[in-house]
Structure 1
């Protein structure tokens, strides 16, 4: 799992929750062979965060997870915005959810909350200790996931926006503080990384809550929702593009 952790951190990602190890190993191998890099990662993440998979999460999981469920409507609207091609809105909607749910999870564990950057480092370290002490699940796998998430939040998501090391700009400060303009972000890759962080918080919550650590199964409700998401994708392709107008600064 350390091999996977290092491969995904190399391209600005982490070990995602609810994904089969076999798939991760195939992607990691292509990263290691320089077939996949940070600029070509998005199509692989699209397979993970597909209409069917996200529909199952929206209809069957997010509303059941302590702390994350307080933001279920915001998450649902952000997912819908993504499939409508509105990734600026989708990502900016999820950023406060990551922070809010993260802080509440930390509070529930009596984890020290200083800067927002330290929240996730300290939260993951606390989970790391619990998993090790109590021998929860596949310990080494979970620890590698936690370590990869620490690196992602500390070195990417919450780093100073001027120091963000990748071209996609999935960075909380740049997005929420307005340092990034239209052309700086708003791609699918930004959404995939943000929703992946939400899913990881669901996984952390499941360490103590009676919730499965596996992806939810499809249901009649999720199948209906995935059909709607597929329709949104078609509508997004038909959306007229606005004319580019240069605005002169005073």
Structure 2
């Protein structure tokens, strides 16, 4: 029995559990406003910001702004896609769909962005189940079956935690001065608690909102896969807000898969030169999108969201001139039509 190792390890995991409990508490408040999660890649300061917002009267717009600014910090979004999703087993198989959805979102085609991204979530879970349970899971579509991936991920996380303990304290094992059975059991119990606290929010969202079985349950959230793909409702909200909910779900899957599979870095592995190049490309799409907002509004006969309230002032200043050039070209085209 090694009391020193046990106390060091237990203090570390307890600190992490307390952090997730704080996050979980904020997530539960956000649930009232259909904002389901601070995801595992969230920064510590995000907790306090969203906690304060959730206590305000009618905070929905401010909560949307918080998530919108995160997404429209395009370097960060590129790092998620190219530095995490692209490297994760199962999720990386859908990288072209994820990229397409981001482009569609920046173009404010939220319906297209959403319908492209929804299958990525269930497809990733299904591929993971197939890898663990065999080809009989190939045609699984029921959400309760797909969510059986989460307990398997949890068991694998605990097993990797056990291996990590032994790897960190290899010399203590060799000196016959490692943890005893009960110490190791208690530490692994805490590791399981940590992972389950995180995954609880994703499971709740997929099971009770996005993939809720509408045949047997009353729908609380019309943003639902069954309603969307079977056109059972006319009032589906294809919005930037709902797209961000899906994107946050990918962050959960990326994090969970990364912790349970070999060769996955906990940091973004995207090359900075590639990120810079892609940032220019995505920014060009955003500029064109902003320039065509009025044109799209005319076609759709409704107001189209502007991203400007969620952009950094430096970015707004940088896009003014190219946006004006595109708008001028559009006005010339309108003149030629007369």
What TM bracket, shorter-length normalisation?
A: 0.7 to 0.9
1:131 lines up with 2:153 in the alignment:
no
Partner of 2:69: 47
Q: Answer whether contact 1:157 1:172 (CA < 8 A) is retained.
A: yes
Structure 2 match to 1:248: none
**TM-score of the two chains, using structure 2 as the length reference:** 0.63
More displaced 10-residue stretch of structure 1: 18-27 or 89-98: 18-27
Instruction: Quote the Cα distance in structure 1 between the aligned partners of 2:155 and 2:148.
Output: 11
Deviation for aligned residue 1:41:
2.5
SS at structure 2 position matched to 1:49: helix
| CA displacement at 1:135 relative to structure 2 | 3.3
For the residues of structure 1 that align with 2:24 and 2:58, how far apart are their CA atoms?
Answer: 15
- Say whether 1:81 aligns with 2:104: yes
Q: CA contact under 8 A between 1:156 and 1:170: conserved in structure 2?
A: yes
Structure with greater Cα Rg: 2
Partners of 2:100 and 2:113 within 8 A in 1: yes
Alignment length (residue pairs): 241
- Separation in 2 of the partners of 1:126 and 1:175? 29
Distance 1:123 1:68, change over 3 A: same
CA contact (8 A) 1:83 1:233 kept: yes
User: Residue 244 of structure 1 corresponds to which residue in structure 2?
Assistant: 301
Which residues of structure 1 form unaligned runs of 5+?
Answer: 246-250
Q: 1:57 to 1:243 in 2, by over 3 A?
A: closer
Q: What TM-score does the superposition give when structure 1 sets the normalisation length?
A: 0.82
Residues in 2 aligned to 1:110 and 1:2: alpha-carbon distance in whole angstroms: 32
Structure 1 vs Structure 2 CA RMSD: 2.8
How far is 1:151 from its partner?
Answer: 0.9
Following TM superposition, by how much is the alpha carbon of 1:36 offset from its aligned partner in structure 2, in angstroms? Answer: 6.5
Kept in 2, the 8 Å contact 1:19–1:215? The answer is: no
- In structure 2, relative to structure 1, the CA distance for the partners of 1:215 and 1:18 (3 Å cut) is farther
Q: Return the structure number with greater helix share.
A: 2
Asked if 1 retains the 8 angstrom alpha-carbon contact of 2:83 and 2:268, the reply is: no
Q: Who is 1:8 aligned against?
A: 27
Secondary structure of the 2:133 match is coil
Question: Per-residue CA shift, 1:153-201, capped at 9, x if unaligned?
Answer: 11111114584434xx4321122222344x5322111111112222222
